[in-house]
Amino acid sequence: MPPTMLPNTIVDTLGVIAHADWSLRPAKRKLCVASRTASGWTVEAPCLVHSVASPHALPDALQARAGAGRVVFLGLDAAMGLPTAWGQRAGVHDFVDFLTHTVHQPGWQDFWHPAETPDQIGLKRPFYPRRPGGTRQHHLVDGLRLHHAHDLRRQCDHPRPGSPTPCPLFWTLGANQVGKATLTAWRELVLPALQDPSRTVSIWPFAGPLAECMHAELTLAEVYPGEVAAWLALDLVARGGKRRQAARKAQSATLLDTLASVGAQPTSALIALIKDGFGESASGEDAFDALLGVLGMLLCVHGRRTVWEPDTPQLVQLEGWVFGRAAPPPAAVD
């Protein structure tokens, strides 16, 4: 598939491209914003989400930056979708309908609260565990009446060469788990945005191909910074991983060159941050990821990265897809 290029008429409507590196803890939620200029984009240094707005008010704050008549494209480092094997057993076939209607019905009140013990796991309480201690992923397999651990994954979560492997959505333990962050993102940001009558909202790919999604005032998408790092062939692992300032600092030339390649001008504060390796503190990793998310979105929007557009019911109704991730093997999608 050749690189997907959005029509210029669609690209021209974009006022803000932003990425929120989400977390259960507000102190780790970093936001990077690229704002439209006459000649391209200005990219700001990442900041804490709550320094801009509360999660439910973030769309309003980004819209104010975009300007009237402009579209906001917001990427989230949180899952957008649910695994098919669970959906078949739970009677859930549509992700957006589930968030806006089903999960608010009687019997679903524990969905938002990870199970503390294996006996609490069920189709309507699929996240586990609440805390570590004697927990195993097979407890989830058994509790959800699945056949195998791979049933916990969406198609976009399956391992593949050259791409990082996300943790299963319902598993909430470990450094790469996304479950708890996803629950807070859904409850505090995504759901309020969908229920807000003051704007039109789309979630890619559930609302259709990207060009169709961009007709809404706010488009949300699942974006993995680790995926973008792989696209850019960043040399992180050999240098001790992205948690090390020296490893992040070594990527400065690549990051600045990539920004320039999509017509994006970093602010002086962002240039200094990039050259410094995003600082010595532990939060440097979060700011680094937030910038990677924006870079990946800019690369896709400007046709520098192939955007595979899912078109099967399994993916566009329930599971979703990671923005910019390559297509699955043909046999992997029913």
Residue 1 has pLDDT above 60, yes or no: no
54-84 per-residue burial string, b: 16 or more CB within 10 A, e: under 16:
ebbebbbbbbebbeeebbbbbbbbbbbbbbb
The answer to whether the beta carbons of residues 137 and 107 sit under 8 Å apart is no
Q: End-to-end CA distance of the chain: give it in Å, rounded.
A: 20
Lowest-confidence pick of 59-73, 81-95, 202-216, 236-250:
236-250
Is residue 40 within 8 A of residue 15, CB to CB? The reply is no
Q: Give percent of the chain with pLDDT exceeding 70.
A: 96
pLDDT band at 5 (very low <50, low <70, confident <90, very high): low
pLDDT tens column, 259-284? 999 999 999 999 999 999 999 988 89
Going from the C-alpha of 121 to that of each of 24, 38, 138, 141, the distances in angstroms are: 21, 53, 11, 10
Q: Give me the pLDDT at residue 4, please.
A: 54
CA-to-CA distance for 1 and 153, rounded, in angstroms?
Answer: 25
**Is pLDDT at 162 greater than 70 in this prediction?**
no
In sequence order, what are the beta bridge partners of 43?
Answer: 34, 266
What residues does each domain of the chain span?
A: 8-79+183-301
Using the 8-state DSSP alphabet, how is residue 103 labeled? G
Q: Is the separation of the CB atoms in 60 and 264 below 8 Å?
A: no
pLDDT tens digit string along 89-145? 999 999 999 999 999 999 999 999 999 999 999 999 999 999 888 889 999 999 999
The percentage of the chain sitting over the pLDDT mark of 90, rounded to a whole number, equals 80
Tell me the pLDDT of the chain averaged across its residues: 92
